[in-house]
Amino acid sequence: MYDDNPTLVGIDKPHDENRQGEAFFPGAEGLPHTGGKHFYIESYGCQMNFSDSEIVASILAESGFSPTRNVEESDLILINTCSIREKAEETVRKRLQYFNQVKKHRPGALIGVLGCMAERLKGKLLEQEKLVDLVVGPDAYRDLPTLVGTAEDGNRGINVILSREETYADIAPLRLDSNGVTAFISIMRGCDNMCSFCVVPFTRGRERSRDAFSIAAEATDLFERGFREVTLLGQNVDSYRWDNPETGQTVTFANLLETVALVHPELRVRFSTSHPKDITDEVLYTMARYDNICKYIHLPVQSGNSRILELMNRTYDRDWYMDKVRRIYEIMPDCAISSDMIAGFCSETEEEHQDTLSMVEFARYSMSYMFFYSERPGTLAARKYPDDIPMEVKKRRLQEIIELQTKISYQHNINDVGKEFKVLIEGDSRRSDQEFKGRNTQNKMVIFPKTGDYKPGDYVRVRILEATSATLLGQVVA
């Protein structure tokens, strides 16, 4: 469904998992083959994880490893993992079994687990299950070269210490599998929100914001290298706050957005994810003021029912969320809003589920990532509320949400037929090398036949001729 939509979470099966595993390779700016040792890295989960893999690649490149896309010729096989739902972890386990098969033909190769599963399971995959040689949590990537050495010597290569400070601010990510046009910039790490269903605060630790100057410098550098779009990443970007140690001034998310927007009018700025409780009018007005800040907000509602929202510890209720949506459309009538929703959370009744459906209608989401509730060990919900909705009910409710969202997305897109949009070309469409794909400001994927000398990184005006629930189809206009 969201086939041509490569920068958001949930591409392949948005209703099912976050991004599926993708092997990461050197892209437009890949490193030359140095003839030394090789690493292979596969990433699962959210954009933050994909962004972290680029930091890991940079750290490894500094210590003499080159990336390879062939797992069978790698000396270090890494898997950057996600714990958000049970299925995400199952997928990783299957991959680890496969990597262990590969290793049989490549004695000496090391297998390392990174990211959220490493943090959640700590030594378990290493000692009890003997599936890996290295376990490295999200705040310990600087230690990776040392840990590789430790494991090579036959010792336990593990570091899962979470940090209150680490933001990897000084590390220039090695852009992997890059289209040379769009890039992620991580602006903060961790999460302090404690939504009751969510494992992230346990796997990623406390929230901390990255030095604003290093973010602006990274955006400037990307622009100078030809990139035309940056997505500022964090679990909750609206609570970004950085105190300048020299002036004592506080940089808010609105300030940061403006700073990055001012890097260049031709550099588009996106951000993800916004927590409804934290997005301020100041942010909305900043978005409205700058043409190059994209008119698109990912504003996960999770549930449309106030009682469930309370159990989820989301700290807003249905009315409060609806007011936020009204405010967005008031300040930016053309803004697209998308969402995440969880079907079948603990004790959810049919009426409460209906509230989620009516929220999809009310908010007119352009698209959503939809999931059924998956209990995660150690979370508040796992400790306090029984996971009491039968699987078939969860799946049926999820299906109802998906069907309604697909209908609303289609209506949203059909509305665009006849309109013209400024589209940033990202590359060839998946279907054909005779067509380009790119996105408009609302983050909608637009497909159109190639004409003229346009190339990836160029902006073109495209008139929309047709639409599906996932894509707009159009033609370049002069």
43 closest CA partner among 61, 25, 23 = 23
* Alpha-carbon dihedral 114, 117, 123, 129, rounded to 10 degrees: -100
Selected binder of ligand SAH within 2, 50, 197, 448 (CB under 6 A): 197
Coil, strand or helix at 431: coil
User: How far is residue 59 from each of residues 23, 47, 186, 331, measured CA to CA in Å?
Assistant: 18, 19, 16, 43
46 closest CA partner among 184, 252, 247 = 184
Draw the binding track, 361-390, toward ligand SAH (x: CB under 6 A; -: no contact): ----------x-xx-x--------------
SS3 content of the chain, % helix, strand, coil (to 5): 35, 25, 40
DSSP class of residue 237 equals: G
Find which of ligand SAH, ligand F3S, ligand SF4, none residue 82 binds, CB within 5 to 8 Å per kind. ligand F3S
CB of 121 to ligand F3S, least distance (A): 12
84 closest CA partner among 191, 209, 187 = 191
CB of 279 to ligand SAH, least distance (A): 11
Show contacts of 311-316: CB within 8 Å, 24+ apart.
311/196, 311/345, 311/346, 311/347, 311/381, 311/385, 312/195, 312/196, 312/197, 312/342, 312/345, 312/381, 313/193, 313/194, 313/195, 313/196, 313/380, 314/195, 314/276, 314/277, 315/193, 315/277, 316/276, 316/277
Minimum CB distance to ligand SAH smaller for 85 or for 444: 85
Tokens 């376990």 -> residue: 135
What single letter denotes the amino acid at residue 142?
R
Diameter over CA atoms, the chain? 65
**234 in contact with ligand SF4 (CB under 6 A):** no
- Rounded to whole angstroms, the Cα distance separating 51 from 53 reads 5
Find which of ligand F3S, ligand SF4, ligand SAH, none residue 112 binds, CB within 5 to 8 Å per kind. none
**187 in contact with ligand SAH (CB under 6 A):** no
Which positions touch ligand F3S (CB under 6 A)?
A: 18, 45-46, 48-49, 82-84, 115-116, 199-200, 203-204
Minimum CB distance to ligand F3S smaller for 175 or for 204: 204
CB of 297 closer than 8 Å to CB of 279: yes
Selected binder of ligand SF4 within 55, 116, 195, 467 (CB under 6 A): 195
**20 in contact with ligand SAH (CB under 6 A):** no
CB of 192 to ligand SF4, least distance (A): 8
CB of 139 closer than 8 Å to CB of 162: yes
CB of 117 to ligand F3S, least distance (A): 8
**193 in contact with ligand SF4 (CB under 6 A):** yes
**200 in contact with ligand SF4 (CB under 6 A):** yes
**338 in contact with ligand SF4 (CB under 6 A):** no
CB of 368 to ligand SAH, least distance (A): 9
**201 in contact with ligand SF4 (CB under 6 A):** yes
DSSP class of residue 192 equals: -
Minimum CB distance to ligand F3S smaller for 203 or for 368: 203
User: How far is residue 274 from each of residues 94, 184, 204, 354, measured CA to CA in Å?
Assistant: 33, 16, 17, 24
Minimum CB distance to ligand SF4 smaller for 194 or for 477: 194
Find which of ligand SAH, ligand SF4, ligand F3S, none residue 340 binds, CB within 5 to 8 Å per kind. ligand SAH
Find which of ligand SF4, ligand F3S, ligand SAH, none residue 201 binds, CB within 5 to 8 Å per kind. ligand SF4
CB of 275 to ligand SAH, least distance (A): 5
- Which of these ranges, 129-137, 193-201, 247-255, 392-400, lies near ligand SAH under the rule CB under 6 A? 193-201
Q: Interface residues with ligand SAH (CB under 6 A)? A: 84-85, 197-198, 200, 235-236, 273, 275, 300, 302, 340, 342, 371, 373-374, 376
